[in-house]
Amino acid sequence: MAVGGRVEYIALDGIPHVSPGDNLAVIVRAALTGMALRLERGDVLVIAQKIVSKSEGRYVRLADIEPSAAALELAKTVGKDPRFIEVVLGESDEIVKHRPNVLIAAHRLGFVMANAGIDQSNIEHHDGEERVLLLPKDPDGSARELKAMLDPDDGLGLGVVINDSFGRPWRNGVVGVAIGAAGVPSLLSQIGVPDMFGRAMRMTEIAVADEIAAAASLLMGQAAEARPVILVRGLQLTGPASSASVLARPKSQDMFR
């Protein structure tokens, strides 16, 4: 991987509230035009998971959910709405950890995350009805689709990363990580590559898509900033493109489960 001495992260202005059925490619093009920007070769777009999920209509009304016995029991410990917990269970393969106000789940996509990535912040709750927003059904597929619409012939070598906020073992706070990617080397092995003293590295793999996503999250913010699309320029990435799914560590290699 080669990174130039200067990398730009540019928050796109003018991104409207996204509704189910909205075309994100059209929205991104309009924002670029409004800032007198054009996509250039090697650019990467980082898109917040939330607007991808909104465009795909991934809403669930809690009023429509009947909690199971398992959800009702878990709610006693966690202290969350059992209907919310039922939605988490439906999106998960396993509940990894739980305690009061904390619910860590292994999402069906392979990500281990709080509440299976289900969120109630920064979404509209019409007429007082409580809704939650799920992750995209196929974040890598969503990234590929957006790339195909914005760079149909791959003439620009455009990269697309869909990011979300994750907590981490041993560390406080959340950081942006990639849950979907297209056109970028999401995980790049440097095993066998000599270090600055000529010693071959034996274990190093770089989570390239995660590093791109984390830096973009600084501009996106976590609350009312309303900057869900970031243009990244100057990365000069090399290596074969791979999906973000390669970043999820298999359970058999996970020392924390």
Residue 215: predicted pLDDT: 95
Residue 80: predicted pLDDT: 94
Residue 168: predicted pLDDT: 83
Helical ranges in 57-106 per DSSP H: 69-78, 82-91
CATH number at residue 245: 3.30.1330.100
For residues 181 and 225, state if they share a domain. Answer: yes
Q: Residue 191 pLDDT > 60, yes or no?
A: no
CATH number at residue 107: 3.90.1660.10
Q: Residue 219 pLDDT > 70, yes or no?
A: yes
Residue 192: predicted pLDDT: 57
Residue 133: predicted pLDDT: 96
Domain-terminating residue out of 93, 113, 133:
133
Report yes or no on 1 lying in a domain.
no
For residues 29 and 77, state if they share a domain. Answer: no
The band of 5, judged by pLDDT with boundaries at 50, 70 and 90, is confident
Q: Which domain holds residue 185?
A: 8-56+138-249
Report yes or no on 2 lying in a domain.
no
The per-residue pLDDT of the chain, averaged, comes to 90
Rg of the chain over all Cα atoms, to the nearest angstrom: 19
For residues 43 and 145, state if they share a domain. Answer: yes
* Domains in the chain, number: 2
Amino acid occupying residue 132? V
Distances (CA, A) of 137 to 53, 188, 210, 222: 8, 25, 20, 22
Report yes or no on 192 lying in a domain.
yes
Residue 180: predicted pLDDT: 98
The band of 19, judged by pLDDT with boundaries at 50, 70 and 90, is very high
The band of 204, judged by pLDDT with boundaries at 50, 70 and 90, is confident
Report yes or no on 229 lying in a domain.
yes
Q: Cα-flanking dihedrals φ and ψ of residue 231, to 5°?
A: -95, 125
Q: CA 45 to CA 28: how far, in whole Å?
A: 9
pTM of the model: 0.91
> From edge to edge, which strands make up the β-sheet containing 112-114?
92-99, 102-107, 112-114
For residues 84 and 178, state if they share a domain. Answer: no
Question: C-alpha 144: how far from its chain's center?
Answer: 14
Could you read off the pLDDT of 41-88 as tens digits, one per residue? 999 999 999 999 999 999 999 999 999 999 999 999 999 999 999 999
> Of 56-65, 192-201, 224-233, where does mean pLDDT reach its minimum?
192-201
Residue with tokens 């309009």: 30
For residues 177 and 243, state if they share a domain. Answer: yes
For residues 146 and 40, state if they share a domain. Answer: yes
For residues 152 and 224, state if they share a domain. Answer: yes
Q: Residue 225 pLDDT > 80, yes or no?
A: no
For residues 152 and 46, state if they share a domain. Answer: yes
Identify which has the larger pLDDT, 123 or 69. Answer: 69
Residue 77: predicted pLDDT: 94
Closest CA to 105 of 121, 120, 123, 87: 87
Percent of the chain with pLDDT over 90: 74
Report yes or no on 3 lying in a domain.
no
Structure tokens given for 112: 């281990």
Report yes or no on 254 lying in a domain.
no
Domain-terminating residue out of 114, 133, 152:
133
> Of 107-111, 190-194, 199-203, where does mean pLDDT reach its minimum?
190-194
Residue 124: predicted pLDDT: 76
> Of 45-49, 87-91, 138-142, 164-168, where does mean pLDDT reach its minimum?
164-168
